[in-house]
Structure 1
Amino acid sequence: MNIYTIVILEQDGGSCVDLKSLAREHSASYMQNPKVEAVLLGGSVSRNWQDEYSDIELMVLWKESPTEEDRKRPIHLANGDIIDFYPYEEEEWSETYVAQGVKFEISNFLTSTIQKIIKEVTLEWETDLNKQCLVAFVHEGIPLGGEEVIQLLKEKVKVYPAELSKAMIRKNMDLGNRWSNREALLVREDWLMLYKVIVSTQEKIMGMLFGLNRLYVHHPAFKWQNLSLEKMPIVPENISSRMTSILMEHPTKGVRDLEVLMGQVYELIQTEYPEMDVMEVMEKTLFIRPKNVVDSI
């Protein structure tokens, strides 16, 4: 693999290159192929969250399987340098390249594959984050070609299902056995394992909050966490700063703050969905594995 220096281009006045315009320019090369039905811009650029580190993420929808030449032609037309070029796996062809100083991440799918995944998420309440991210891509993405095809897909994901909301909450409510071992990890100063537990718990919180607020998860690792939380109306007070502090402050205080935060999240769930019994889960969350006690003889 070659190593490339990625340069952030600047326009007059020193501002970063217009990534949306650049994406539109490159999408035209894909739309020249009669096998392509649509091109969609996603990621941080589609949500206006982009910064100087952002790349351009494109979803290309195909009527039939693309050949290697089909995939490479737009890169050659852009005088791009290929970084990664993957074969078909998990229903996707993907490649990454650099052109005009900007990295492009291309996800190629058959249109029928995206239709199937949309059905699984919206009608069968599939909580798999990778599938949900594709639905989020469609929901939030900007059409760059094949607007009619994309609009039909967007109609299918426009309404976030209540049952998917509940499924996301149920999937993430139980924090697992390691959480009950947190006190022992603190005493032992097993920081590596403890921080794995803390991060896992924060991921569970994010999963519940996405479901509670009926938002499709747009990244499996909850990238852009703070901006995502800002979009959510149903969250504990000062959620972003508290999540940050839990990771930055002393572990003992971080764990105590996380316990309080979890309780508040459960209360929000109970308010939104009174029919969901969260009391058992709350009691399990508060449980701490006791010390061994040996009776003296």
Structure 2
Amino acid sequence: MTDKNEYLLELVQRNVKAYIANSKTKAVMLTGSVAEGLGDEYSDCDVMLYYDELPSQEELYQARQQNHGAELIEILGDRSYGAFGETFIINGIECQFAHAKIAQWEKEMSSILEEFDVQSPIMKGMTGTLVGIPLYGETLIGQWKAKIADYPDKLAQTMVEHYLKFFPIWGMQSKLAKRDTTLWYYQIMVESAQNLLGVLSGLNRLYYSTFQFKRMSKFIQQMKIAPENLPSRLESLFHHQAPVAVNQLEALVRETVALVEIYMPQVDTSSAKRRLGWRQKPWELREVNQ
């Protein structure tokens, strides 16, 4: 842990005391980069606070006042949904405190663990809980951590099936080069890289969301099942010229599909495989028979 990360950790531990003093508060957890020991001079502080009943705006105001008059930036979300966010500045550092009813958070966990909503940004919150540091209500947070760590097989398969979709840009490079498709090209490459990570996350039982996805290399390090040198190969997709990059993408897709067939043979890979090796041919002018 760096000195800067330690500084942020101490800042959070100091400032959550005013919230913990509220009898409504049942659990508090530090998450994000600071919880992972990766905080730096650009990091903010992400804190989750859980209640049976959400605190009032007056109670939040009083907590900020106890924290040396923290400067409120914004309130995000609608408390009628059972959760909202509070952003404020202390000592020049942005703090993002998310306030949620316990019932709402457990409902959101169920949407992943029981309903298998793999597109939900709550997937990011699942990872955040696993790495989170309990600051209050350790028993309750420990129960959530154990539940999330028990990754359902059905969720893993749903992840793989959802993300196993790749546009065959490797077969259309000559066509796209004539059509001024820079934005579309990068959109396809980004979506393809995201889908590769989604498939591999399912194979490795990892929670994954495309929402504000960061620290790709660290994330991939958790994978025991992945194409060789995956971080550098994904990075290179966005640094090589298109004719090279699309062929590299095709190779990654081919290797990833092969891994699915080995480790999750019940998944139908025929659609993903159909256009591997395919190249679109231009048509030619021919005399039309009368």
Give the letter aligned to residue 129 of structure 1. Answer: S
Deviations 1:72-117 (A, max 9, x none): 3322222211222224166421121111232111111110011111
Matching of residue 36 in structure 1 with residue 25 in structure 2: yes
Of 46, 58, 62, the match for 1:69: 58
1:210-225 counterparts in 2 under 5 A? 210-217=201-208, 220-225=211-216
Which shifted more, 285-294 or 275-284?
285-294
Partner residue, 1:199: 190
* Count of residues paired in the alignment: 285
1:100 to 91, 95, 104: 91
- 2:289 matches 1:268: no
Write out per-residue CA displacement over residues 7-26 of structure 1, whole angstroms, 9 at most, x where no aligned residue.
xxx97xxx565222222222
For the aligned residue pairs, the C-alpha RMSD in angstroms reads: 2.3
Structure 2 vs 1, CA of residues 82 and 288 (structure 1 numbering), >3 Å: closer, same or farther?
farther
CA contact (8 A) 1:206 1:222 kept: no
Within 5 Å, give how 1:53-92 maps onto structure 2: 53-78=42-67, 79-88=69-78, 91-92=82-83
CA 1:183/1:169 → structure 2, altered by over 3 Å: closer, same or farther? farther
Partner of 2:151: 160
Instruction: Confirm or deny that 1:139 pairs with 2:130.
Output: yes
Gaps in structure 1 of 5+ consecutive residues: 1-9
Is the 2:170–2:247 contact (alpha carbons within 8 Å) kept by the matching residues of 1? no
TM-score for both structures, normalised by structure 1? 0.87
Tell which deviates more after alignment, 217-226 or 154-163.
217-226
Calculate percent identity across the aligned residue pairs.
25
Displacement over 4 Å in runs of 4+:
176-183, 285-290
1:254 corresponds to 2:270 = no
- 2:15 equivalent in structure 1: 26
- Cα deviation per residue 1:131-169 (whole Å; 9 max; x = unaligned)? 212222222211111112212222221211111111111
Is the alpha carbon distance of 1:247 and 1:157 closer, same or farther for their aligned partners in structure 2, counting shifts above 3 Å? same
Q: Deviations over 1:179-198 (max 9, x none)?
A: 86555223434211111111
How far is the alpha carbon of 1:244 from its aligned partner? 0.8
Taking structure 1 as reference, are residues 97 and 288 closer, same or farther at Cα in structure 2, changes over 3 Å only?
farther
Query: Is 1:130 equivalent to 2:127 in the alignment?
Result: no
When residues 233 and 183 of structure 1 are mapped into structure 2, their CA distance, relative to the original with a 3 A threshold, is farther
Q: Counterparts of 2:200 and 2:264 in 1: how far apart (Å)?
A: 13
Contact 1:203 1:222 (C-alpha < 8 Å) held by counterparts: no
Shift of 1:265: 1.0
Question: Under a length normalisation based on structure 2, what TM-score does the superposition of the two structures give?
Answer: 0.89
Q: Is the 8 A contact 2:26 2:52 kept in 1?
A: yes
1:107-118 correspondence to structure 2 within 5 Å: 107-118=98-109
Can you list the C-alpha shifts for 1:217-273, whole angstroms capped at 9, x where unaligned?
A: 266232111111122111111111111111011122111111111111111111111
Q: What is residue 36 of structure 2 aligned with on the other side?
A: 47
Q: AA paired with 2:118?
A: T
Q: Which moved more, 1:212-221 or 1:194-203?
A: 212-221
Contact 1:27 1:145 in 2 (8 A): no
**Cα distance, 1:67 vs structure 2:** 1.5
